[in-house]
């Protein structure tokens, strides 16, 4: 059964992604914010999915709102993190009635935007939802990262599910040079139920990100590597971006 991206996957996503270092990523982001003189109180976690990163921000004491396009992912997030406000929205067009000290978007979620125009629109929406002096922190896969996503172009395994049972997953990747996108076929089986989702990502290099950030209103930003905040190497597969909304904006 073929399902839309991030729909059927929601029920097994946390099991498959159990080893993702959301806690270390949160420390990375919050350390940068504090070093920049920001002690965030309110945060907006974009493309929050099932809330893995959201929960780390909550654990750090922040008042967090999560936003995602997938209602199925949000349904899981609400169960796993009660008390947090989760809203459905499109990264390119969302409008909330408040501003935040910190906006985040992690785990290459912005790579799902397949044109620079769409990415620029999302960056502008993030900028619009920051308080003056606030910080937008996100990561993206570079062109190298999308082209060479996994060694052997496949990952496979079994993961235990909360409440019993397990999910068998086999995800394969190939790069479409004509469209300049990486394509992942995500196959999952739980018991006698199977589904496949197709996910597409476009890579963005630092040279492409800079004009998009400036066009979105960010005049002060850094593009770095994880975990040491170093300048990106030419062949780095993923970069992190820290972009400030200037106090006078």
pLDDT digits (tens, 9 = 90+) for 196-245: 999 999 999 999 999 999 999 999 999 999 999 999 999 999 999 999 99
- pLDDT above 90 (res 247): no
Interaxial angle between packed helices 52-59 and 22-35, expressed in degrees from 0 to 180 and rounded to the nearest 10 = 50
pLDDT, one tens digit per residue, over 74-113 is 999 999 999 999 999 999 999 999 999 999 999 999 999 9
Beta strands in the chain (DSSP E): 2-3, 42-46, 63-68, 85-88, 100-105, 130-141, 154-160, 166-176, 181-190, 193-201, 220-224, 238-244
Do 216 and 119 touch, CB atoms closer than 8 A? no
Q: Mean pLDDT over residues 152-157, rounded?
A: 95
What's residue 248's pLDDT?
76
What is the percent of the chain where pLDDT is above 90? 97
* 14-143+204-244: CATH superfamily: Vaccinia Virus protein VP39 (3.40.50.150)
Structure tokens at 215: 């066009």
């Amino acid at each position: 059964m073929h399902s839309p991206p991030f729909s059927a996957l929601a029920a097994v996503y946390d099991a498959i992604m159990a080893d993702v270092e959301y806690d270390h990523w949160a420390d990375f982001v919050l350390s940068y914010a504090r070093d920049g003189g920001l002690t965030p109180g309110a945060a907006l976690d974009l493309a929050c999915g099932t809330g893995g990163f959201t929960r780390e921000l909550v654990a750090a004491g922040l008042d967090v709102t999560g936003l995602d396009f997938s209602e199925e992912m949000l349904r899981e997030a609400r169960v796993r993190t009660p008390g947090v406000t989760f809203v459905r929205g499109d990264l390119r067009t969302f409008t909330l009635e408040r501003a935040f000290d910190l906006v985040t978007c992690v785990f290459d979620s912005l790579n799902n935007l397949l044109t620079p125009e769409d990415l620029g629109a999302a960056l502008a929406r993030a900028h619009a939802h920051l308080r003056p002096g606030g910080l937008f922190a996100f990561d993206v896969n570079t062109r190298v990262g999308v082209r060479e996503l996994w060694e052997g172009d496949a990952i496979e395994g079994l993961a235990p599910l909360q409440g019993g049972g397990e999910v068998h997953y086999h995800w394969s990747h190939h790069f479409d040079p004509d469209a300049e996108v990486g394509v992942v076929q995500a196959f999952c089986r739980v018991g006698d139920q199977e589904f496949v989702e197709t996910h597409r990502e476009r890579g963005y290099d630092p040279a492409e990100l800079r004009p998009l950030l400036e066009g979105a209103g960010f005049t002060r930003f850094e593009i770095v590597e994880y975990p040491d905040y170093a300048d990106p190497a030419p062949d780095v597969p993923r970069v992190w971006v820290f972009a400030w909304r200037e106090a006078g904006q």
